[in-house]
Chains A and B, each alone.
Chain A
Amino acid sequence: DTGVSQDPRHKITKRGQNVTFRCDPISEHNRLYWYRQTLGQGPEFLTYFQNEAQLEKSRLLSDRFSAERPKGSFSTLEIQRTEQGDSAMYLCASSFPGRNTEAFFGQGTRLTVV
Chain B
Amino acid sequence: GEDVEQSLFLSVREGDSSVINCTYTDSSSTYLYWYKQEPGAGLQLLTYIFSNMDMKQDQRLTVLLNKKDKHLSLRIADTQTGDSAIYFCALTSGGGADGLTFGKGTHLIIQP
Q: How far is the CA of A107 from the CA of B31 in the complex (A)?
A: 23
At the interface, yes or no: A65 with Cβ under 8 Å from chain B?
no
A42 adjacent to B104 (CB under 8 Å): yes
Q: How many residues of B contact A (CB 8 A)?
A: 25
At the interface, yes or no: B85 with Cβ under 8 Å from chain A?
no
B42 adjacent to A100 (CB under 8 Å): no
Interface residues of B in 21-51 (CB under 8 A from A): 31, 33, 35, 41-45, 48, 50
Across-interface contacts of A42 in B (CB, < 8 A): 4, 88, 90, 102-105
B42 adjacent to A105 (CB under 8 Å): yes
At the interface, yes or no: B79 with Cβ under 8 Å from chain A?
no
Across-interface contacts of A55 in B (CB, < 8 A): 96-97
Nearest-neighbor residue (CB-CB) of A33 within chain B: B99
A100 adjacent to B43 (CB under 8 Å): no
Nearest-neighbor residue (CB-CB) of A106 within chain B: B42
At the interface, yes or no: B69 with Cβ under 8 Å from chain A?
no
How many cross-chain pairs have Cβ atoms below 8 Å apart between A and B? 64
Most buried by B among A43, A55, A97: A43
Q: How far is the CA of A101 from the CA of B92 in the complex (A)?
A: 9
A104 adjacent to B99 (CB under 8 Å): no
Nearest-neighbor residue (CB-CB) of B90 within chain A: A42
With A45-B100, A56-B99 as contacts: A101 and B48 at CB distance below 8 Å? yes
Across-interface contacts of B92 in A (CB, < 8 A): 100
Min CB distance B52 to A, Å, is 13
Supply 27 A–B pairs (Cβ within 8 Å), ascending by A.
Answer: A31-B96, A35-B99, A42-B90, A42-B102, A42-B103, A42-B104, A42-B105, A43-B43, A43-B88, A43-B102, A44-B102, A45-B98, A45-B99, A46-B99, A48-B97, A50-B96, A56-B96, A56-B97, A56-B99, A59-B99, A91-B43, A93-B43, A97-B96, A101-B31, A101-B50, A103-B45, A105-B45
By Cβ-Cβ distance, the 6 closest A-B pairs, closest first, are A42-B102, A45-B99, A107-B42, A105-B43, A105-B42, A56-B97
